[in-house]
Amino acid sequence: MNVPVWLWLVTVIGLAAVICLDFYLISRNPRDPSLKECTAWIACYVTLAVLFGLGVFAFAGVEYGGEFFAGWITEYSLSVDNLFVFVIIMSSFAVPREYRQKVLSIGIVIALLMRGVFILVGYEAITRFHWLFYVFGAFLVYTAWKLMAHKGEEEEFEENAMLRLAKRFLPATEQYEGARITTRVDGRRMVTPMLIVMVAIGTTDLLFALDSIPAIFGLTQQPYLVFTANAFALMGLRQLFFLIGGLLDKLVYLSVGLAVVLGFIGLKLVMEALHHDGVAWAPVIPILVSLAVIVGTLAVTTAASLWKVRHDRKKEPAEV
């Protein structure tokens, strides 16, 4: 897939314009968004992603169109799982509800910029060292095993190295100063907890990329599709935080579904690496089959989660 420079520029400028508009609307009227507003924004972002995917279908073919949709759905699903930790971070830093949108938006922009670098490095690495597909595949299978082994356990937030460095070298106030990230105390410039929590969101999301980036490289090796799939998944994450914040506990089998998806992609990577190395029995799994497995798995686990929650609620009165 030969993507010209002008298309890269148009895509990046277009995505930046949407993000800037979103951020402007947040800064203009900071508040806790309504359910209706979040639903409208998510519908808008999903529509943009679907239209973009259909454009890839039309101009690049079924193969690349399928790769975009498979990558986008996988990244979006992994982002939903990440929201568990984002909720914990917001609670740990006691972020005022009216400023949580701004924190998420800036944190997501930081994550997108850092993921751009991560994608570039990852692409250069896999094109030079094909054996990395074995490493990526094994890592995804291991991640899937960890998700299955720890299913049902509560997520915990642990400070990463970048966050510890930020807290160590940036003098911060104890209190929030509205939505400001810096303030002056006794003539000394200091940062507020707002900046620290933004670093926490951005760097934590980057750590999540350790499994999401290899996962999408298992579906497509096209950096343009990898970047755009990640961008569309992250762009709707802020609204998703507020929309399903109260529904996260209902997705009881989400980690199981994600484990199946990551395990499948990991095995797909290993099979393709073996096929590349001349192993005749190793199949190459078509992207449309991968898309069907991903969508089917997530649909089944979501339906099963909702059924279990409804079934447990029906049993509660009888147990009282």
Delimit the domains of the chain by residue range. Answer: 5-311
| Mean pLDDT lowest among 36-40, 207-211, 217-221, 271-275 | 207-211
The answer to whether 25 and 37 are in contact (CB under 8 A) is: no
pLDDT of residue 246: 56
| Interval 295-312: pLDDT, tens | 898 889 888 888 887 777
3-state secondary structure string across the chain? CCCCHHHHHHHHHHHHHHHHHHHHHHHHCCCCCCHHHHHHHHHHHHHHHHHHHHHHHHHHCHHHHHHHHHHHHHHHHHHHHHHHHHHHHHHHCCCCHHHHHHHHHHHHHHHHHHHHHHHHHHHHHHHHCCCHHHHHHHHHHHHHHHHHHCCCCCCCCCCCHHHHHHHHHCCECCCCCCCCCEEEECCEEEECHHHHHHHHHHHHHHHHHHHHHHHHHCCCCCHHHHHHHHHHHHHCHHHHHHHCCCCHHHCCCHHHHHHHHHHHHHHHHHHHHHHHCCCCCCCCCCHHHHHHHHHHHHHHHHHHHHHHHHHHHHHHHHHC
**Would you place residue 319 in the very low, low, confident or very high pLDDT band (cuts 50, 70, 90)?**
very low
Percent over 70 (pLDDT), the chain: 88
pLDDT of residue 266: 86
Average pLDDT on 40-52 reads 90
pLDDT of residue 49: 92
Average pLDDT on 6-33 reads 81
pLDDT of residue 320: 44
Please check the confidence at residue 185 and state whether its pLDDT lies above 60. yes
Average pLDDT on 87-110 reads 76
Please check the confidence at residue 247 and state whether its pLDDT lies above 70. no
**Would you place residue 317 in the very low, low, confident or very high pLDDT band (cuts 50, 70, 90)?**
low
pLDDT of residue 169: 75
Please check the confidence at residue 101 and state whether its pLDDT lies above 50. yes
Q: Considering the chain, what is the average pLDDT of its residues?
A: 80
Other Cβ atoms less than 10 A from the Cβ of 127: the count is 11
Q: 34-67 burial by CB neighbour count: b if 16+ within 10 A, else e?
A: eeeebeebbeebeebbeebbeebbeebeeebbbb
Task: Locate 154 and state its tokens.
Answer: 């509560």
| Interval 135-159: pLDDT, tens | 888 888 888 888 787 665 555 556 6
| Interval 56-90: pLDDT, tens | 999 999 999 999 999 999 888 887 766 767 777 77
pLDDT of residue 67: 92
pLDDT of residue 156: 58
Q: Give the range with max mean pLDDT: 8-17, 84-93, 134-143, 163-172.
A: 8-17
pLDDT of residue 104: 75
| Interval 250-262: pLDDT, tens | 677 877 888 888 8
Alpha-carbon distances of 287 from 9, 138, 216, 259, 283, rounded to whole Å: 27, 20, 12, 19, 12
